[in-house]
A and B are shown apart, each in its own frame.
Chain A
Amino acid sequence: MQKNYNATVAKIMAIYGKRLKPQDYTEMMNRQSVSDVAEYLKKNTYYGKLLASIDTNTIHRGMLENLLRRSVFETYMRITGFEHISNQRFYNYKIIQTEIDEIVRCIRCINAGSDKLIQDVPVYINHLTSFDLLELAKINDFSGLLEFIRKTPYYDILKDISPNEDGKVDVTKCETLLRTYYINMFRNSADFRSSDSKQFISFLETEIDLINIINSYRLTAYFDASEDDIERDMLTFHGRLTAERHREIYSAPNEEEFIRRFAKTYYGKQMIQNGYDITNIEQSARRLRHKYARSLLRRSGAAPLSVYAFIFLRETEVQNIISIIEGIRYGVESSKIASLIIT
């Protein structure tokens, strides 16, 4: 019988209670510089502990963003270490997610001929990953990457991919394959009770639906991609939207038609009901994902679901702060920044 990790759930709720409130975002948006935002976070929020030793007057935007991202991972380690559940298979998902993200970033850098991968490498996680992230950052061709990941599960996933004449790799295909592996890992996970597992899979499938919608919208609106091209690059799982419904949306000839068809789906109706701007599908889909995660955290008393939903919400919170920091840094109007904040 699976053990209940109620203390972990209680701890998560306690930490979640300290989350940033809408007035915190408003306060930050009213600040004039990145230093001011850092100072606000340090003095008025639970990020104060993270920023205690930081001189907010001199902090670099990139460093602040890295610190915030690291704080999410540290929280993840703290809550999974609380009742020593981190050794269970499910709770490894954050490490796998990071490994996949880094491989995808590496492929992008290879394609772009950039050596800037090192800049955002989450070095704080290096002791937990199945390969050395610093060594990964040194790789500059795809064959080198395959050789580097030979002893990891990712090799079998990417081994059949071959670069084109320019040495470039189809990064979308790689990403789809890697994400499929990641989702299958969850689907095969037996670390928690079947009822919780069902609830989790349902949440995950909803997420996949929304991710597919975001990606297919981008391909339709910005790349004028064909239905076949879109379908090839989508994750092959479905939630509330059937494969036929997906195809119907993918076959939309233009952006307007895409939105019109999407508006008739369950998610489209949900967006309209919640007062989200359906013409801004990407942002509204993120809002919907956030809403579902909040609901999952509130309704579920199971540790795996709570951990997953909570970490998702923390990542959204950090992304909100980053949006504000970048908005202020590049002089974006506060109303425009506000439209990016998800609460």
Chain B
Amino acid sequence: MSIEKMEFVNISGHTSDLNATLVKLSDCGCFHIESASKVAKKKSGYTALKEDNPYTPLLRKLNEISARSGVTFKSTDYSDVENESLPSLEKYLSEVSNTLDEYKTAERQAREQLSVHEQAMYQVDHLQGITADFQQIFHCEHIKIRMGRLPADSFAKLPYYDDKPFFFFHFSQEQEYYWGMYLVPVAYLDEVEEIFDELYFERTHIPDFVHGDSETASSELHRMVEEDKKAIDECVKQSDEYMQLKTERLCKIFSRLKTQHDNFDLRNKAVIVKDKFHIVGFVPRKDSERFAGMFGDIESISVSIQHADVNGKIPPPIKMKDNWFTKPFSLFVEMYGLPSYNGINPTSFVAITYMLLFGIMFGDFGQGVVLAVFGALMGKLKKWSMGPIISRVGISGAIFGLLYGSVFGYEELLDPIYERLGISFLPIKVMDNVAPILVATIALGVLLIMISILINIVSGIKNKDYESALFSNNGIAGLVFFGSILGGLVGTLLGVKVFSIPYVLLLIILPLILMFMREPLACLVKGKKYKMEGGVGDFIASNFFEVFEFLLSYVSNSLSFVRVGGFAISHASMMLVVMALAKGMSAAASPVMVVFGNVFVMGIEALLVCIQAMRLEFYELFSRFYSGDGVPFTPVKINYDETIE
């Protein structure tokens, strides 16, 4: 449960060495940079560097080439092009871009040709049924023919024009349109054309290159379309071959430019005082010695390493230390927010409690094993961040499945084994122990809440936050009050008289008074004077309601854990239904039902239980000791995946 210790670093040197220093910083992989202007004193007369990045235009050009060619540039050794001047690189990129343009223009022209032919094919295909030659149709002397499509709404209006001298024949219909043609005597052409214009008729102009009847024309157009596609393929092939020849060098140029670009961007974080630059940031304590020794070959550089908290203006960044087992659960912690630098890393606590809560709720040996394997595979093959978590909680589910004696919903499968081993208290049949399970889960909840309070006390003392550690509902006062009430209740249930007057006065009333007076008491401990805002009445009213809310939260938070037992029972009940359904089916259908039921219950329960466990973690536990306001440790590095727009 720890957080990597950091050191505050101040690097200064001659401005001529700034670039070389930044290259070293991005190479070291352990330096978290901060803006030096945050700590620089105004009196020093510093200036912050605000410069246009000279590498941005070239990177944009590269990005355009990448977008047009579909080639992604990767980082590579760029020593070959390291000393090439920027104008020379620009010239080379322009050449590549222009050549690529030529290929793309040829491809675009071929695509336009294809579009024309496809359009004609699409139109002719909708006019299937015309057996006469298109050219003959269009050259009729007394009748004019117009082909095209009519919106469905307009088609419905045609009966309105029954008395007008035209015929409309439709050949096919698609969603919004009727494809067809209308015939009109030449003498009425203008009048009918006006009607069809008003009906939004979209006339199809059959291109001159289309000959023969619809069938002949269609097959000819299909042939043309195939030829166009081949021409496009050829253009694409030529462009790909060209890019294959250029990619290696372009990758080198990209790597060099991106490195210089990102390093140049870091200059904005530095401040200049006279002819010296200053850069500040953090390095992990374990790397500080190696870091300090990195700049030996740059004469003007001096590195000062101090305690992380030395400068109150910048909070140290957070790098959590987790072992292989708990590391996946840091996903949940980061989701809530990182701890503060002097706080506590709750990942191990989350790992243990999350697995415990999940296991109790999900308990089934067979399903747990399947879930564990599924999670492990997803983590390994798909690099899914939830994979390792699922594999761990799956194992927990399997262990609780062993305790419950449940294997894929078969509740009696393990009974003979326990009998043979002579373990009489196992398996714990969930459906036969509903009340004990519910009570046990509330007890577990109470225990977890008390651990959370303890963590808060330790963290509060560490951070000298005495109000939180000593007098708050999550401090010693709260713990004593909560523990005494519970102790008294348990004692009373066991027949022991616990609630004596001194017990009530010292362990219940006194902590309540301390919680009520927590703000003035905290000031007293710190030796500060307490300022009452809003008068005594306001103080009493606000603290009364706050203390009342604390009392309610103890009850509601504890009872919230009853859901853990509830989900354990619901899991068993759902499998009971699956088994009952399978029993009522034929011999062939029954196994299918068992498999389907298991998959269904496993899927839905795993999802629900994951959410519920997370809810308990965040709402009932985290809220007692965790603020999640830390800043992540992000060492500077060259980001080759970032696109410069």
| Interface, chain A (partner B; CB < 8 A) | 52-55, 58, 60, 62-63, 66-67, 70, 118-119, 121, 123-124, 126, 134, 137-138
Chain A min CB distance to B87 (Å): 38
Q: Determine whether the beta carbon of A53 is less than 8 Å from that of B153.
A: no
Q: Determine whether the beta carbon of B198 is less than 8 Å from that of A134.
A: no
Q: Determine whether the beta carbon of A126 is less than 8 Å from that of B156.
A: yes
Q: Determine whether the beta carbon of A137 is less than 8 Å from that of B200.
A: no
Q: Determine whether the beta carbon of A53 is less than 8 Å from that of B159.
A: no
Q: Determine whether the beta carbon of A134 is less than 8 Å from that of B153.
A: no
At the interface, yes or no: B174 with Cβ under 8 Å from chain A? yes
Q: Determine whether the beta carbon of A118 is less than 8 Å from that of B160.
A: yes
A172 to B202 alpha-carbon distance, docked (Å)? 38
At the interface, yes or no: B643 with Cβ under 8 Å from chain A? no
At the interface, yes or no: B177 with Cβ under 8 Å from chain A? yes
Closest A-B pairs by Cβ, 8 of them:
A63-B200, A53-B175, A123-B156, A60-B200, A53-B176, A134-B160, A118-B160, A123-B153
Residue of B nearest to A60 (CB): B200
Please name all residues of chain B whose beta carbon is closer than 8 Å to the beta carbon of A58 when the two chains form the complex. 202
B157 contact from A53, A54, A121, Cβ within 8 A: A121
A124 to B153 alpha-carbon distance, docked (Å)? 7
Please name all residues of chain B whose beta carbon is closer than 8 Å to the beta carbon of A52 when the two chains form the complex. 175
At the interface, yes or no: B630 with Cβ under 8 Å from chain A? no
- Beyond A60-B200, A62-B200, A63-B200, whether A70 also contacts B153 by CB under 8 A is yes
At the interface, yes or no: B151 with Cβ under 8 Å from chain A? yes
Q: Add 13 more A-B contacts to A55-B202, A118-B157, A134-B159 (CB < 8 A).
A: A52-B175, A53-B174, A53-B175, A54-B176, A62-B200, A63-B151, A67-B176, A118-B198, A119-B198, A121-B157, A123-B153, A123-B157, A137-B160
Residue of B nearest to A135 (CB): B160
Please name all residues of chain B whose beta carbon is closer than 8 Å to the beta carbon of A119 when the two chains form the complex. 198
A134 to B155 alpha-carbon distance, docked (Å)? 12
A54 to B186 alpha-carbon distance, docked (Å)? 31
Residue of A nearest to B158 (CB): A134
For chain B, the bracket of interface size reads 10 to 19
| Interface, chain B (partner A; CB < 8 A) | 151, 153, 156-157, 159-160, 174-177, 198, 200, 202
Chain B min CB distance to A103 (Å): 17
Chain B min CB distance to A64 (Å): 9
Please name all residues of chain A whose beta carbon is closer than 8 Å to the beta carbon of B202 when the two chains form the complex. 55, 58
A53 to B174 alpha-carbon distance, docked (Å)? 8
Residue of A nearest to B149 (CB): A55
B153 contact from A54, A60, A66, A138, Cβ within 8 A: A66
Please name all residues of chain B whose beta carbon is closer than 8 Å to the beta carbon of A62 when the two chains form the complex. 200
12 inter-chain pairs at a CB distance below 8 angstroms, sorted by A residue, are: A52-B175, A53-B176, A55-B202, A62-B200, A63-B200, A67-B176, A118-B157, A118-B160, A118-B198, A126-B156, A134-B157, A134-B159
Residue of A nearest to B175 (CB): A53
A52 to B156 alpha-carbon distance, docked (Å)? 20
Chain B min CB distance to A128 (Å): 13
A9 to B160 alpha-carbon distance, docked (Å)? 39
Please name all residues of chain A whose beta carbon is closer than 8 Å to the beta carbon of B160 when the two chains form the complex. 118, 134, 137-138
A253 to B554 alpha-carbon distance, docked (Å)? 72
Residue of A nearest to B198 (CB): A119
Chain B min CB distance to A126 (Å): 7
Among B151, B175, B198, B200, the one with the most A-chain Cβ atoms within 10 Å of its Cβ is B200
A134 to B174 alpha-carbon distance, docked (Å)? 23
Residue of B nearest to A132 (CB): B159
Please name all residues of chain B whose beta carbon is closer than 8 Å to the beta carbon of A134 when the two chains form the complex. 157, 159-160
Chain A min CB distance to B123 (Å): 11
Residue of B nearest to A119 (CB): B198
Please name all residues of chain B whose beta carbon is closer than 8 Å to the beta carbon of A123 when the two chains form the complex. 153, 156-157
A241 to B180 alpha-carbon distance, docked (Å)? 57
Chain B min CB distance to A172 (Å): 28
Residue of A nearest to B163 (CB): A138
Please name all residues of chain B whose beta carbon is closer than 8 Å to the beta carbon of A124 when the two chains form the complex. 153, 156
Chain A min CB distance to B196 (Å): 12
